[in-house]
Protein backbone atom coordinates (compact mmCIF):
# COMPACT_ATOMS: atom_id res chain seq x y z
CA UNK A 1 0.00 0.00 0.00
CA UNK A 2 1.30 3.46 -0.93
CA UNK A 3 2.69 5.50 1.96
CA UNK A 4 1.02 8.92 1.82
CA UNK A 5 2.58 10.29 4.99
CA UNK A 6 5.38 12.86 4.62
CA UNK A 7 7.19 15.39 6.78
CA UNK A 8 5.80 18.93 6.93
CA UNK A 9 8.12 21.27 5.02
CA UNK A 10 6.28 24.55 5.50
CA UNK A 11 7.46 27.61 7.41
CA UNK A 12 8.14 27.09 11.10
CA UNK A 13 9.68 29.71 13.40
CA UNK A 14 10.92 29.66 16.97
CA UNK A 15 7.90 30.02 19.22
CA UNK A 16 9.65 31.97 21.99
CA UNK A 17 10.99 34.60 19.59
CA UNK A 18 7.62 34.96 17.90
CA UNK A 19 5.93 35.25 21.29
CA UNK A 20 8.17 38.20 22.21
CA UNK A 21 7.51 39.81 18.82
CA UNK A 22 3.79 39.22 19.23
CA UNK A 23 3.72 40.92 22.63
CA UNK A 24 5.69 43.87 21.27
CA UNK A 25 3.27 44.28 18.36
CA UNK A 26 0.31 44.05 20.75
CA UNK A 27 1.73 46.95 22.76
CA UNK A 28 2.47 48.92 19.59
CA UNK A 29 -1.00 48.39 18.10
CA UNK A 30 -2.81 49.29 21.32
CA UNK A 31 -0.54 52.30 21.70
CA UNK A 32 -1.39 53.52 18.21
CA UNK A 33 -5.10 53.19 18.86
CA UNK A 34 -5.07 54.84 22.29
CA UNK A 35 -2.43 57.54 21.81
CA UNK A 36 -3.05 58.54 18.18
CA UNK A 37 -5.59 61.29 19.10
CA UNK A 38 -3.05 62.77 21.51
CA UNK A 39 0.04 62.56 19.30
CA UNK A 40 -1.53 63.25 15.93
CA UNK A 41 -4.27 65.58 14.82
CA UNK A 42 -6.77 65.59 12.02
CA UNK A 43 -6.42 62.99 9.32
CA UNK A 44 -3.18 61.55 10.71
CA UNK A 45 -4.97 60.62 13.91
CA UNK A 46 -7.54 58.61 11.96
CA UNK A 47 -4.86 56.95 9.80
CA UNK A 48 -2.74 55.95 12.80
CA UNK A 49 -5.83 54.62 14.61
CA UNK A 50 -6.82 52.51 11.60
CA UNK A 51 -3.23 51.28 11.25
CA UNK A 52 -3.22 50.30 14.93
CA UNK A 53 -6.52 48.45 14.49
CA UNK A 54 -5.22 46.57 11.44
CA UNK A 55 -2.01 45.70 13.31
CA UNK A 56 -4.08 44.45 16.26
CA UNK A 57 -6.17 42.20 13.99
CA UNK A 58 -3.01 40.81 12.37
CA UNK A 59 -1.59 40.16 15.84
CA UNK A 60 -4.72 38.34 16.96
CA UNK A 61 -4.60 36.13 13.87
CA UNK A 62 -0.86 35.55 14.30
CA UNK A 63 -1.28 34.50 17.91
CA UNK A 64 -3.23 31.46 16.67
CA UNK A 65 -0.07 30.03 15.07
CA UNK A 66 1.69 28.90 18.25
CA UNK A 67 2.11 25.11 18.52
CA UNK A 68 3.67 23.04 21.30
CA UNK A 69 4.92 19.56 20.35
CA UNK A 70 6.02 17.19 23.12
CA UNK A 71 8.30 14.16 22.65
CA UNK A 72 6.23 11.23 21.43
CA UNK A 73 3.65 13.49 19.78
CA UNK A 74 2.95 14.48 16.19
CA UNK A 75 0.85 17.16 14.53
CA UNK A 76 -1.04 16.49 11.31
CA UNK A 77 -1.02 19.71 9.28
CA UNK A 78 -3.99 20.64 7.07
CA UNK A 79 -4.39 23.80 5.01
CA UNK A 80 -8.06 24.40 4.17
CA UNK A 81 -8.77 20.66 4.16
CA UNK A 82 -5.63 19.59 2.30
CA UNK A 83 -2.99 17.43 3.98
CA UNK A 84 0.30 19.35 4.16
CA UNK A 85 2.43 16.88 6.11
CA UNK A 86 3.21 15.64 9.60
CA UNK A 87 5.22 17.73 12.05
CA UNK A 88 6.92 15.91 14.95
CA UNK A 89 9.83 18.14 16.02
CA UNK A 90 9.58 18.65 19.81
CA UNK A 91 9.50 22.23 21.05
CA UNK A 92 7.51 25.46 20.95
CA UNK A 93 6.95 26.64 17.37
CA UNK A 94 5.08 29.21 15.34
CA UNK A 95 3.48 28.20 12.03
CA UNK A 96 1.07 29.65 9.53
CA UNK A 97 -2.04 30.44 11.64
CA UNK A 98 -4.32 29.33 8.79
CA UNK A 99 -2.95 25.78 9.05
CA UNK A 100 -5.12 23.48 11.15
CA UNK A 101 -3.22 21.02 13.34
CA UNK A 102 -4.46 17.70 14.74
CA UNK A 103 -2.50 16.33 17.68
CA UNK A 104 -1.79 12.59 17.84
CA UNK A 105 0.11 10.61 20.46
CA UNK A 106 2.82 8.34 19.02
CA UNK A 107 3.55 6.72 22.38
CA UNK A 108 3.07 3.00 22.97
CA UNK A 109 -0.22 2.00 24.57
CA UNK A 110 -1.25 -1.13 26.43
CA UNK A 111 -4.52 -3.02 25.96
CA UNK A 112 -5.48 -5.70 28.48
CA UNK A 113 -8.39 -7.45 26.80
CA UNK A 114 -10.93 -9.12 29.06
CA UNK A 115 -11.24 -12.91 28.57
CA UNK A 116 -13.81 -13.82 25.93
CA UNK A 117 -15.60 -17.09 25.26
CA UNK A 118 -14.65 -18.83 22.01
CA UNK A 119 -14.91 -22.35 20.62
CA UNK A 120 -11.62 -24.12 20.04
CA UNK A 121 -10.88 -26.41 17.10
CA UNK A 122 -12.83 -29.29 18.64
CA UNK A 123 -15.83 -27.13 19.53
CA UNK A 124 -15.20 -26.87 23.26
CA UNK A 125 -15.95 -23.43 24.76
CA UNK A 126 -12.87 -21.84 26.31
CA UNK A 127 -12.16 -18.50 27.98
CA UNK A 128 -9.18 -16.72 26.45
CA UNK A 129 -7.69 -13.28 27.06
CA UNK A 130 -4.68 -11.37 25.80
CA UNK A 131 -2.51 -8.33 26.35
CA UNK A 132 -1.59 -6.08 23.42
CA UNK A 133 1.01 -3.31 23.07
CA UNK A 134 0.44 -0.95 20.13
CA UNK A 135 1.20 2.54 18.87
CA UNK A 136 0.46 4.81 15.92
CA UNK A 137 2.93 4.50 13.07
CA UNK A 138 1.36 6.25 10.06
CA UNK A 139 -0.41 9.50 10.93
CA UNK A 140 -1.99 9.90 7.48
CA UNK A 141 -3.77 6.55 7.68
CA UNK A 142 -4.69 7.16 11.30
CA UNK A 143 -6.40 10.46 10.50
CA UNK A 144 -7.90 9.84 7.06
CA UNK A 145 -8.31 6.07 6.52
CA UNK A 146 -10.66 5.44 9.48
CA UNK A 147 -13.39 7.66 10.94
CA UNK A 148 -11.81 8.17 14.37
CA UNK A 149 -11.92 11.96 14.03
CA UNK A 150 -15.70 12.09 13.58
CA UNK A 151 -16.27 9.82 16.57
CA UNK A 152 -13.99 12.01 18.68
CA UNK A 153 -15.78 15.21 17.64
CA UNK A 154 -19.18 13.76 18.52
CA UNK A 155 -17.91 12.78 21.98
CA UNK A 156 -16.22 16.13 22.65
CA UNK A 157 -19.23 18.25 21.63
CA UNK A 158 -20.47 20.46 24.46
CA UNK A 159 -17.39 19.90 26.58
CA UNK A 160 -15.84 22.96 28.22
CA UNK A 161 -12.36 21.66 27.42
CA UNK A 162 -13.29 20.48 23.93
CA UNK A 163 -9.81 20.84 22.46
CA UNK A 164 -8.02 18.59 24.94
CA UNK A 165 -11.02 16.27 25.23
CA UNK A 166 -11.09 15.86 21.48
CA UNK A 167 -7.46 14.71 21.41
CA UNK A 168 -8.13 12.21 24.17
CA UNK A 169 -11.27 11.02 22.42
CA UNK A 170 -9.37 10.50 19.17
CA UNK A 171 -6.98 8.16 20.99
CA UNK A 172 -9.94 6.46 22.71
CA UNK A 173 -11.49 5.95 19.28
CA UNK A 174 -8.25 4.32 18.13
CA UNK A 175 -8.27 2.12 21.23
CA UNK A 176 -11.84 1.04 20.51
CA UNK A 177 -10.86 0.21 16.92
CA UNK A 178 -7.85 -1.78 18.18
CA UNK A 179 -9.99 -3.63 20.74
CA UNK A 180 -12.57 -4.72 18.15
CA UNK A 181 -9.98 -5.86 15.61
CA UNK A 182 -7.90 -7.63 18.27
CA UNK A 183 -11.02 -9.44 19.50
CA UNK A 184 -11.78 -10.66 15.97
CA UNK A 185 -8.19 -11.83 15.42
CA UNK A 186 -8.12 -13.63 18.78
CA UNK A 187 -11.33 -15.49 17.94
CA UNK A 188 -9.91 -16.49 14.56
CA UNK A 189 -6.61 -17.79 15.97
CA UNK A 190 -8.19 -19.57 18.96
CA UNK A 191 -10.61 -21.40 16.67
CA UNK A 192 -7.72 -22.97 14.74
CA UNK A 193 -6.27 -24.93 17.68
CA UNK A 194 -7.48 -27.37 20.30
CA UNK A 195 -7.21 -26.51 23.98
CA UNK A 196 -4.75 -29.28 24.87
CA UNK A 197 -3.29 -32.61 23.72
CA UNK A 198 -6.12 -34.60 25.27
CA UNK A 199 -8.32 -33.71 22.32
CA UNK A 200 -5.94 -34.70 19.52
CA UNK A 201 -3.05 -37.10 19.07
CA UNK A 202 -1.51 -35.97 15.78
CA UNK A 203 1.20 -33.74 17.24
CA UNK A 204 -0.39 -30.41 16.25
CA UNK A 205 0.05 -27.24 18.25
CA UNK A 206 -2.40 -26.60 21.07
CA UNK A 207 -3.42 -23.44 22.89
CA UNK A 208 -1.74 -24.67 26.09
CA UNK A 209 1.54 -25.93 24.65
CA UNK A 210 2.19 -23.81 21.55
CA UNK A 211 2.28 -20.41 23.23
CA UNK A 212 5.25 -18.90 21.36
CA UNK A 213 4.09 -19.94 17.90
CA UNK A 214 0.48 -19.01 18.58
CA UNK A 215 1.48 -15.61 20.01
CA UNK A 216 3.49 -14.88 16.86
CA UNK A 217 0.54 -15.84 14.67
CA UNK A 218 -1.81 -13.73 16.81
CA UNK A 219 0.53 -10.74 16.54
CA UNK A 220 0.72 -11.12 12.75
CA UNK A 221 -3.07 -11.37 12.41
CA UNK A 222 -3.70 -8.26 14.53
CA UNK A 223 -0.94 -6.31 12.77
CA UNK A 224 -2.50 -7.19 9.41
CA UNK A 225 -5.91 -5.94 10.53
CA UNK A 226 -4.57 -2.70 12.04
CA UNK A 227 -2.26 -1.77 9.16
CA UNK A 228 -5.12 0.03 7.39
CA UNK A 229 -5.36 2.43 10.35
CA UNK A 230 -1.62 3.13 10.50
CA UNK A 231 -1.27 1.23 13.78
CA UNK A 232 1.74 -0.95 14.59
CA UNK A 233 1.56 -3.96 16.92
CA UNK A 234 4.61 -4.14 19.18
CA UNK A 235 3.60 -7.25 21.11
CA UNK A 236 0.59 -9.53 21.47
CA UNK A 237 0.36 -12.54 23.74
CA UNK A 238 -2.26 -14.74 25.38
CA UNK A 239 -2.35 -14.10 29.13
CA UNK A 240 -5.43 -16.07 30.18
CA UNK A 241 -6.62 -19.52 29.11
CA UNK A 242 -9.20 -21.76 30.77
CA UNK A 243 -12.22 -23.88 29.95
CA UNK A 244 -15.56 -22.10 30.07
CA UNK A 245 -17.34 -22.49 33.45
CA UNK A 246 -20.07 -24.75 32.05
CA UNK A 247 -17.58 -27.50 31.12
CA UNK A 248 -14.70 -26.72 33.48
CA UNK A 249 -15.69 -29.36 36.08
CA UNK A 250 -16.10 -32.10 33.46
CA UNK A 251 -12.82 -31.24 31.78
CA UNK A 252 -11.05 -31.19 35.14
CA UNK A 253 -12.19 -34.75 35.81
CA UNK A 254 -11.02 -35.76 32.34
CA UNK A 255 -7.62 -34.21 32.96
CA UNK A 256 -7.39 -35.95 36.33
CA UNK A 257 -8.30 -39.27 34.72
CA UNK A 258 -5.67 -38.74 32.04
CA UNK A 259 -3.08 -37.99 34.73
CA UNK A 260 -4.04 -41.11 36.71
CA UNK A 261 -3.79 -43.30 33.60
CA UNK A 262 -0.38 -41.86 32.75
CA UNK A 263 0.82 -42.46 36.31
CA UNK A 264 -0.48 -46.05 36.27
CA UNK A 265 1.31 -46.71 33.01
CA UNK A 266 4.57 -45.53 34.57
CA UNK A 267 4.00 -47.67 37.67
CA UNK A 268 3.23 -50.80 35.66
CA UNK A 269 6.20 -50.21 33.37
CA UNK A 270 8.51 -49.87 36.37
CA UNK A 271 6.98 -52.89 38.14
CA UNK A 272 7.44 -55.15 35.11
CA UNK A 273 11.05 -54.01 34.83
CA UNK A 274 11.68 -54.80 38.51
CA UNK A 275 10.04 -58.24 38.26
CA UNK A 276 12.12 -59.07 35.20
CA UNK A 277 15.28 -57.97 37.00
CA UNK A 278 14.38 -60.13 40.04
CA UNK A 279 13.77 -63.26 37.95
CA UNK A 280 16.99 -62.75 36.00
CA UNK A 281 18.95 -62.21 39.23
CA UNK A 282 17.58 -65.42 40.79
CA UNK A 283 18.33 -67.38 37.65
CA UNK A 284 21.81 -65.97 36.97
CA UNK A 285 23.08 -66.40 40.53
CA UNK A 286 21.34 -69.80 40.89
CA UNK A 287 19.80 -68.79 44.20
CA UNK A 288 16.69 -70.92 43.69
CA UNK A 289 15.19 -73.10 40.96
CA UNK A 290 11.67 -72.04 39.97
CA UNK A 291 9.41 -73.82 37.54
CA UNK A 292 7.00 -71.90 35.31
CA UNK A 293 4.12 -72.18 37.77
CA UNK A 294 6.18 -70.75 40.65
CA UNK A 295 7.52 -68.00 38.39
CA UNK A 296 3.96 -67.05 37.46
CA UNK A 297 2.97 -66.96 41.15
CA UNK A 298 6.02 -64.85 42.00
CA UNK A 299 5.29 -62.43 39.15
CA UNK A 300 1.68 -62.12 40.27
CA UNK A 301 2.64 -61.43 43.89
CA UNK A 302 5.33 -58.90 42.98
CA UNK A 303 3.01 -57.02 40.62
CA UNK A 304 0.33 -56.84 43.31
CA UNK A 305 2.85 -55.47 45.81
CA UNK A 306 4.47 -52.99 43.41
CA UNK A 307 1.30 -51.74 41.72
CA UNK A 308 -1.04 -51.64 44.69
CA UNK A 309 -2.11 -48.38 46.30
CA UNK A 310 -2.01 -49.75 49.86
CA UNK A 311 0.96 -51.12 51.78
CA UNK A 312 1.33 -54.88 51.26
CA UNK A 313 0.47 -57.16 54.22
CA UNK A 314 2.85 -60.14 54.10
CA UNK A 315 1.51 -63.63 54.87
CA UNK A 316 3.97 -66.17 56.31
CA UNK A 317 3.62 -69.64 54.84
CA UNK A 318 4.36 -72.19 57.63
CA UNK A 319 3.91 -75.18 55.37
CA UNK A 320 5.67 -76.24 52.19
CA UNK A 321 5.97 -74.16 49.06
CA UNK A 322 2.93 -75.92 47.59
CA UNK A 323 0.66 -75.69 50.65
The answer on 83 and 116 residing in a single domain is no
- CA dihedral 91→96→99→103, nearest 10 degrees, is 10
What CATH number did the domain enclosing 148 receive?
Answer: 3.30.479.30
pLDDT for the residue numbered 150: 60
The answer on 195 and 152 residing in a single domain is yes
The answer on 113 and 237 residing in a single domain is yes
- CA dihedral 161→166→167→168, nearest 10 degrees, is 80
The answer on 263 and 176 residing in a single domain is no
The answer on 224 and 134 residing in a single domain is yes
What range defines the domain where residue 179 resides?
Answer: 109-243
The answer on 77 and 134 residing in a single domain is no
The answer on 164 and 139 residing in a single domain is yes
Q: Looking at the domain assignment, is residue 318 inside a domain?
A: no
Q: Looking at the domain assignment, is residue 218 inside a domain?
A: yes
- Number of structural domains (the chain) is 3
Q: Looking at the domain assignment, is residue 317 inside a domain?
A: no
Q: Looking at the domain assignment, is residue 172 inside a domain?
A: yes
Q: Looking at the domain assignment, is residue 2 inside a domain?
A: no
The answer on 226 and 126 residing in a single domain is yes
Burial 74-94 (b: 16+ CB within 10 A, else e): bbbbbeeeebbbbbbeeeebb
Q: What is the DSSP letter of 197?
A: G
Per-residue pLDDT of the chain (323 residues; tens, 9 = 90+): 568 899 999 999 999 999 999 999 988 888 888 876 666 666 666 777 788 889 899 999 999 999 999 999 999 999 998 999 999 999 999 999 999 999 999 999 999 989 999 999 888 899 999 999 999 999 999 999 887 666 555 554 444 355 566 667 888 889 999 999 999 999 999 999 988 876 455 667 888 887 889 999 999 999 999 999 999 999 999 999 998 888 777 777 777 777 777 788 888 888 888 888 888 887 777 777 777 787 788 788 777 777 776 666 666 556 555 55
Q: Looking at the domain assignment, is residue 315 inside a domain?
A: no
Long-range contacts of residues 313-320, Cβ cutoff 8 Å, at least 24 apart: none
Q: Looking at the domain assignment, is residue 316 inside a domain?
A: no
The answer on 292 and 259 residing in a single domain is yes
Q: Looking at the domain assignment, is residue 39 inside a domain?
A: yes
The answer on 35 and 75 residing in a single domain is yes
The answer on 149 and 75 residing in a single domain is no
Q: Name the domain boundary from 215, 243, 271.
A: 243
pLDDT for the residue numbered 136: 94
The answer on 238 and 135 residing in a single domain is yes
Amino acid sequence: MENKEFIFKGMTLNGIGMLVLNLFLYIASVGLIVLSPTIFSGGMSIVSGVAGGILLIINIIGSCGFVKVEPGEARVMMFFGKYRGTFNTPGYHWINPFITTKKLSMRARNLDAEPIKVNDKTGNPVMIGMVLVWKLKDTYKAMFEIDAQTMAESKAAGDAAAASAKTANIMNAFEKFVRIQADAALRQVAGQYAYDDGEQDNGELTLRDGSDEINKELEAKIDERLAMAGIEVIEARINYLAYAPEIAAVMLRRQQATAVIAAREKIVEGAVSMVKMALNKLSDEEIVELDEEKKAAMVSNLLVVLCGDDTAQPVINTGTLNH
